[in-house]
Structure 1
Amino acid sequence: MLSQSETLARLGARRADFSLDRDLYCDPGVLAADLDHIWYREWLFAVPACELDKTGAYATLQIGAYPVVVIRGADGRIRAFHNVCRHRGQRLCSKASGTTPKLVCPYHQWTYDLDGKLIFARDMGEDFDAAKFGLKKVHCVDLGGMVFICLAEVPPAISDLAPKLTSYLAPSGLAEAKVAFSSTIIENGNWKLVIENNRECYHCGGSHPSLCRTYSDNPRMTAMEGPDSASPDILDHWKRCEAAGLPSRFTNHARMQWRLARIPLLNNAESYTMSTKAAVSKRMGAMPFNDAGSLLFFHYPNTWNHFLADHAIVFRILPISPTETQVTTKWLVHKDAVEGVDYDLETLTRVWLNTNDEDRQVVEENQKGILSPAYEPGPYSKIQEEGVIQFIDWYCGVMTERLGPQPALAAE
């Protein structure tokens, strides 16, 4: 198991524009460092806000060693807490999701209000101060209908992303949406391999026949350098969409931790369906036409997303072990859309259920090869894998900064 100093040395020795050293994809010590310096410190996508559709609706997730519960309070606000009772540490909520009027520990029935306040603890004595034993809070924000959480005591700034994401998502009306279907799978691969695979379509033509009916594997479609620099078809699409009130132009974080851009689908396709037509007859929010393409949004380390005229697809990944990653996908439709009337579930989900399973197989075979002592880092294509290079550069930059020598405190 690599120490943090050994992990830093491997990062320092990496060759630019090449894949990572074998141990960086499978060593337990590296995963521990990833958790400490990225997963426990960055903003993470948790759930779409519409999933928590009523008072007491909650969802749970496991981030490394930390169980977390995200819940909607009586005041309508969504909050997040460490999913740990302040009495003897029992998990409060064991299910993936549900609804509860109060958070009640199943062990000794300590009871918390939906804002985390301890309101009942039997037989604790007259000098017991319940105010000191409220649930521990986790930072939580709702950005345009996407709920992000951060485990850090002091979270990184999110002021650059918040206005952009809220503006770009506004026409999709995520507050007026509902979850039509949810899928969770385990990919037997390192979390970085899952992200790498998502950041390129070099593999799409050979792996994703369903997706390639509507999504172009031409790297020019997603290799953009700025709000006025893209392929002509994308520039034309931006002009059309923005004239109809849809923010569309490429915008990004300075270090490419996140990016937003709306792209057209192939041959004026309307949605990710086998027929290329809309899967849902009732459009999302204020979307003006069916062929608005897909608003692409990613945010490292754990989400990528597609927002179309008729539905949205949100993705969340969470590391389980050095070679296991949980991938959760949710399909969102307008809250008034009726299954069997406005949409057919199989039509809605088929393309991405197929694509997710194909990606799972790709990632798992990738991981099996990397586990071989014969593996050595290979070069990325600067034409096809620019997105992968950007992700690996972001990852290595963040880890190198946080694993490296820390500045000495000034003498008093």
Structure 2
Amino acid sequence: MDPMSLDRLDDPLAPAREATAELLANRRRGFSLPQPFYNDERLFQLDMQEIFEKEWLFAGMTCEIPTKGSFITLEIGDNPVVIVRGNDGEVHAFHNVCRHRGSRLCVSDKGKVAKLVCPYHQWTYELDGRLLFAGTDMGKDFDLSAYGLKPVNVRTAGGYIFVSLADEPPAIDELLEALEHYLAPYDMDNVKVAVESSIVEQANWKLVIENNRECYHCSGSHPELLNSLQEFDDSDDPRATPAYKALVERKQGEWDAMGVPWQLKRIGKRNRLTRTPLLEGTVSMTMDGQPGCKKLMGRLQSADLGALRILHLPNSWNHYMGDHAVVFRVMPIGPQQTRVTTKWLVHKDAVEGVDYDPAQLRRVWDATNDQDRRLAEENQRGINSKGYEPGPYSETFEFGVIDFIDWYSERMLENLGRSASHLQLAQG
């Protein structure tokens, strides 16, 4: 029997799977999760196997691989992935693993190549994954066609790249159609990454997402962000004041006249797209609320477009304004360690130092990211205590957190059930 089959049959996480399913089935809805979900190594491995190896993940932007041979890489747990623009202009994704002896092919975060060449023994692959060269030492009967790179599911829309390691990924078409619609005015084929940052937070990835899904903490923690941001989550926010509702109605009329989509759209609890006003008199998430880039994005004629907010669980949130956009990617590293990558997008013809100053463009979210890092890390330290027990979320202030935890619990239970069924089939 293949040793890999033995590993599947003798699942070392089987007790953890059963315990996790029981904890989720009996959890108290509207409360934070039991402690192991935030700090246990076995449960982290389940998160990686049942969420990050099975769901669609935001990987990057198509503008990052603009021409043939451009590539980006990312690490999904122990799974390195390379995403490359092929000869045909199509976006391909592969396991970043040479079919010879398993070395990583592309070792940098991004780059441009004519072919994909393994640095270990120079096995060479076409940009569509076909093995082209393996050296003469493999023998005259060696079949190149049997050793192409292993593909990874990849889909693109509205400038976004999503990947899934699953054999049968969940449906994503509705999100892709929504992204094309909402981002059409931004002409996402003509944007570029002006600047980016990556920070590592000493906190579980779910705490990073939970922190993002509420603004209960904003007034006490984010002075820079609140120079422009309304604390209301969307136009349906139960806390919305009459003045805010009146502002929303007026702005929606203006956006309609411009042909700019604003309608609140939810796709289950996984995805949400909505355009909401910024504070009166501000048009961008900058320190003074004024445009951070003189050249507007796409075909937009006004900077005063509020912020188009896009949520994609489990690993991304985004803000689109008239002058620039800020996109975020969350990737777990360990039970109490998470990498948050932030990219600021501008029109591809915007000139650094003329149209925008990278330091000024990123100042608000650099400060906000660092503040959120400290909040998440203090949250993690408290949760690690023997004194921690699940606490209640506010249905008014933290309804977004409740939705996230509900989504996570539902997907974990469903994916755990499927894994159990597959294991039973394998065991005969």
> How high is the TM-score relative to the length of structure 1?
0.95
Matches within 5 A, 1:107-146: 107-123=120-136, 124-146=138-160
How many residues align? The count is 404
Tell me if the contact between 1:270 and 1:277 (Cα under 8 Å) persists in the aligned partners.
yes
Instruction: Give the deviation of 1:221 after TM superposition.
Output: 5.1
- Distance in 2 (CA, whole Å) between partners of 1:222 and 1:340 is 39
Matched with 1:304 is 317
Tell me if the contact between 1:219 and 1:383 (Cα under 8 Å) persists in the aligned partners.
no
Amino acid at match of 1:210: E
- Distance in 1 (CA, whole Å) between partners of 2:317 and 2:399 is 16
Offset from partner CA, 1:75-116 (integer Å, 9 cap, x none) = 211111000000000000111111111110011100001111
In the alignment, which of 351, 355, 358 is matched to residue 368 of structure 2?
355
Offset from partner CA, 1:293-350 (integer Å, 9 cap, x none) = 1110011001000111001111101110011011001001101000110111111110
- Distance in 1 (CA, whole Å) between partners of 2:23 and 2:148 is 42
| Structure 1 residues 368 and 276: CA distance shift in structure 2, 3 A | same
Tell me if the contact between 2:61 and 2:160 (Cα under 8 Å) persists in the aligned partners.
yes
Tell me if the contact between 2:234 and 2:275 (Cα under 8 Å) persists in the aligned partners.
no
- Distance in 1 (CA, whole Å) between partners of 2:56 and 2:248 is 30
Tell me if the contact between 1:66 and 1:82 (Cα under 8 Å) persists in the aligned partners.
yes
- Distance in 2 (CA, whole Å) between partners of 1:397 and 1:284 is 37
- Distance in 2 (CA, whole Å) between partners of 1:157 and 1:218 is 30
What SS class does the counterpart of residue 342 from structure 2 fall into? strand
1:321 aligns with 2:334: yes
More helix by share: 2
- Distance in 1 (CA, whole Å) between partners of 2:71 and 2:161 is 12
Instruction: Give the deviation of 1:390 after TM superposition.
Output: 0.4
- Distance in 2 (CA, whole Å) between partners of 1:219 and 1:303 is 16
> How high is the TM-score relative to the length of structure 2?
0.91
Tell me if the contact between 1:256 and 1:394 (Cα under 8 Å) persists in the aligned partners.
yes
In the alignment, which of 142, 154, 169 is matched to residue 168 of structure 2?
154
What SS class does the counterpart of residue 31 from structure 1 fall into? helix
Tell me if the contact between 1:220 and 1:231 (Cα under 8 Å) persists in the aligned partners.
no
Matched with 1:21 is 34
Matched with 2:5 is none
Matches within 5 A, 1:1-80: 3-80=16-93
- Distance in 1 (CA, whole Å) between partners of 2:130 and 2:314 is 31
Matched with 2:4 is none
| Worse-matched range after superposition: 304-313 or 50-59 | 50-59
- Distance in 2 (CA, whole Å) between partners of 1:94 and 1:163 is 33
What SS class does the counterpart of residue 108 from structure 2 fall into? coil
Tell me if the contact between 2:193 and 2:345 (Cα under 8 Å) persists in the aligned partners.
yes
- Distance in 2 (CA, whole Å) between partners of 1:176 and 1:12 is 47
Matched with 2:116 is 103
Amino acid at match of 1:236: R
Q: Which runs of 5+ in 1 are unaligned?
A: none
Q: Which runs of 5+ in 2 are unaligned?
A: 1-12
Instruction: Give the deviation of 1:223 after TM superposition.
Output: 2.5
Amino acid at match of 2:379: N
Q: Report the RMSD for the aligned CA atoms in angstroms.
A: 1.7
- Distance in 2 (CA, whole Å) between partners of 1:127 and 1:172 is 52
Matched with 1:182 is 196
Amino acid at match of 2:140: E
Matched with 1:233 is 247
Matches within 5 A, 1:168-179: 168-179=182-193
1:193 aligns with 2:207: yes
Offset from partner CA, 1:95-142 (integer Å, 9 cap, x none) = 111111111001110000111111111021111110111101111111
How much identity, in percent, do the aligned residues show?
50
Offset from partner CA, 1:207-264 (integer Å, 9 cap, x none) = 1110000001245656289xxxx934323322321221111100011x2100000011
Amino acid at match of 2:210: E
| Structure 1 residues 104 and 268: CA distance shift in structure 2, 3 A | same
What SS class does the counterpart of residue 280 from structure 2 fall into? helix
- Distance in 2 (CA, whole Å) between partners of 1:60 and 1:136 is 15
